[in-house]
Amino acid sequence: MVTAFFRSVLAEPRAPDPPARDWRDWVLVGALLVTAAGEAIFRPDVPWRTLATVVTLLVIPLLLWRRTHPLLTTAIGFGGGAMVLHIPMFLDDVAEVGLNSMVCVLLLPYALYRWASGREALIGTAIVAVPVSLGLAATDNVGDLIGGATVVVAAFALGAAMRFRAVAHGREVERARTSERGELARELHDTVAHHVSAIAIQAQAGRAVAATDPAAAVEALAVIEAEASRTLSEMRTMVRVLRDGDAVDYAPQRGIGELDELTRMSPLVRVQCVGDLADLPQPVEVAVYRICQESVTNAIRHALHPTSVSVEVRGEASVVRLRVHDDGEAARPSNSVGYGLLGMAERAKLLGGVCQAGPDPHGGWTVEATLPREVPR
């Protein structure tokens, strides 16, 4: 277990996108330099004042690179500056050497655990441990010993906690992006497949009657024009959503009230809505419409010689049930799951419902879905 832990730590990469230096970093360093200079001037009681001042003034600017070079700054700050300040403690038997401004070095172990890779963090921890251990060993006060160790450990712990928080936030953002991509893929597939299928069907009908019934052919062309315009409009709306900075006109999502539009795809389509379908949440209405739309599109595109495509939506006390059935020969293999069937199942699952599609025992193909009236939170 210990070996696996160290392997995972060594494999940890650097935290991505460390923030660049900005005015706040320069203000921090400037304020610390002024404070250190003031201490050097107004505190003549500091042992080895010249050495303490020089070390502090050299270590403070390292804070400007603590995010981009966490190991290097830690090595210089603790392995260099802090170790130098321990020399008088052994040569002159001085209890403590250094300005109070030197406390800023605690930002280095924080930055080490926040931004460094796992390998760098282990090396940096060993570097920090040497001067800290020497300093704690030199004190005879138990309170100072516990307090000093606690402060150093807290700096490490805070850096690790902020790193974990950032990683968790990044994963949450990625999950949200994945969910949005899935939703966009479903909407794009449903919109394009439905409208393009309607265009293809009307084009075939117009072509068949062009020679014998020009008026019917013109009517088919009008339907094609309307479907093409609607497709282009919905595609433009999706593109605006994807482009940052573009003004987006969010049109209302289609729902149960627009199911009658599906009859324009083919004279074979019949829509029936029964029961209590009032006051449904918008996600449920959208899911009902999209599942019915995709089911009708599949029936028109894939069923062989159908004579009817029935759409029935029934509102009950706690659920909404829908059933789309065509009586054509099921040319679709039951073990084949395309994007349309997958999208319908995902829509139902996201709302806490179920959706099943397959050959009907009495002939044809049936899609059935059950959606709760209340959207899960």
Is 313 within a domain? Answer: yes
Question: What integer is the mean pLDDT of 95-108?
Answer: 84
Give the integer Cα–Cα distance in Å for 263 and 72.
70
Q: Can you read off the two tokens belonging to residue 215? A: 């008026």
- Specify the higher pLDDT residue, 179 or 129: 129
Question: What integer is the mean pLDDT of 16-29?
Answer: 90
- Specify the higher pLDDT residue, 219 or 271: 271
Task: Supply the pLDDT for residue 225.
Answer: 76
Task: Supply the pLDDT for residue 219.
Answer: 79
- Compute the residue count for the chain: 377
Is 76 within a domain? Answer: yes
- Specify the higher pLDDT residue, 187 or 341: 341
Confidence of residue 75 (pLDDT cuts 50, 70, 90): very high
pLDDT at 260 over 70: yes
CA angle 159, 160, 165 (to 5 degrees): 100
Task: Supply the pLDDT for residue 311.
Answer: 94
Task: Supply the pLDDT for residue 244.
Answer: 52
Residues 6+ apart with CB under 8 A from 128: 74, 78, 108, 109, 112, 152
> Cβ(68)–Cβ(15) under 8 Å?
no
Is 128 within a domain? Answer: yes
Give the integer Cα–Cα distance in Å for 159 and 256.
52
Between the CA of residue 196 and those of 174, 230, 234, 263, what are the distances in Å? Answer: 32, 11, 13, 15
Is 326 within a domain? Answer: yes
Question: Domain ends where: 95, 114, 138?
Answer: 138
Q: Which of 122-136, 249-263, 273-287 has the lowest mean pLDDT?
A: 249-263
Task: Supply the pLDDT for residue 255.
Answer: 86
Q: Which of 96-105, 147-156, 169-178 has the lowest mean pLDDT?
A: 169-178
Task: Supply the pLDDT for residue 2.
Answer: 64
**CATH code, domain with 271:** 3.30.565.10
Q: Kindly report the average pLDDT of the chain as a whole number.
A: 82
- Specify the higher pLDDT residue, 342 or 124: 124
Question: What integer is the mean pLDDT of 93-122?
Answer: 87
Question: Domain ends where: 138, 172, 197?
Answer: 138
Is 65 within a domain? Answer: yes
The listed range with the strongest mean pLDDT (78-82, 252-256, 330-334) is 78-82
Question: Domain ends where: 138, 158, 174?
Answer: 138
Question: What integer is the mean pLDDT of 218-226?
Answer: 77
Confidence of residue 369 (pLDDT cuts 50, 70, 90): very high
Task: Supply the pLDDT for residue 345.
Answer: 87
Question: What integer is the mean pLDDT of 120-134?
Answer: 88
Q: What is the residue whose two structure tokens read 């919109």? A: 191
Is 152 within a domain? Answer: no
Question: What integer is the mean pLDDT of 244-270?
Answer: 73
Confidence of residue 334 (pLDDT cuts 50, 70, 90): very low
Query: Structural domain tally of the chain?
Result: 2
Determine if residue 305 is left, alpha or beta; phi over 0 gives left, psi from -120 to 50 gives alpha, anything else beta. Answer: left
pLDDT at 48 over 70: yes
Confidence of residue 113 (pLDDT cuts 50, 70, 90): very high
What is the span of the domain harbouring residue 18?
2-138
Is 187 within a domain? Answer: no
Q: What is the residue whose two structure tokens read 């010249």? A: 50
Task: Supply the pLDDT for residue 356.
Answer: 92
User: What percent of the chain lies above the pLDDT cut of 70?
Assistant: 81
pLDDT at 296 over 60: yes
Is 308 within a domain? Answer: yes
pLDDT at 292 over 80: yes
